């Protein structure tokens, strides 16, 4: 499993989603996403490996990813005045993108 490819694709897809949802403000989350991915990298590798070895199932993987939601801090969007509800929805989208990418890589 190529984790560097995974992280590159995650970054690109999440940034595209941010731009689609928040317009020009969406590009401001690059640093926030890099921090999130750097902080989560080892855990994501471990969980993807466990999933690929069938030691955890899709639901367990989703739960583990959801547990990382609080470390996803979108300071740039908060400063721009984006509501907490909107940020929560975007965080859920990010978790969904990460889960989808891992599922695609493993299956």
Rounded to whole angstroms, what are the CA distances from 30 to 8, 10, 62? 12, 12, 24
d(CA 33, CA 69): 12
Give per-residue pLDDT as tens, 9-55: 888 888 888 888 887 777 778 778 778 888 888 998 899 889 989 99
Average pLDDT of the residues in 68-86: 82
Up-side HSE of residue 79: CA atoms within 13 Å toward CB?
9
pTM above 0.85, yes or no: no
Nearest alpha-carbon partner for 25 in 83, 71, 68: 83
Average pLDDT of the residues in 61-70: 90
């Amino acid at each position: 499993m190529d984790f560097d490819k995974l992280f590159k694709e995650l970054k690109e897809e999440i940034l595209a989603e941010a731009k689609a949802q928040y317009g020009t403000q969406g590009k401001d989350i690059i640093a926030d996403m890099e921090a999130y991915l750097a902080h989560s990298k080892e855990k994501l590798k471990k969980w993807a490996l466990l999933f690929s070895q069938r030691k955890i199932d899709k639901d367990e993987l989703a739960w583990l990813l959801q547990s990382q939601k609080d470390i996803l801090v979108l300071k740039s969007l908060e400063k721009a005045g984006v509501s907490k509800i909107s940020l929560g929805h975007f965080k859920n989208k990010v978790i969904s993108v990460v889960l989808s990418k891992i599922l695609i890589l493993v299956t």
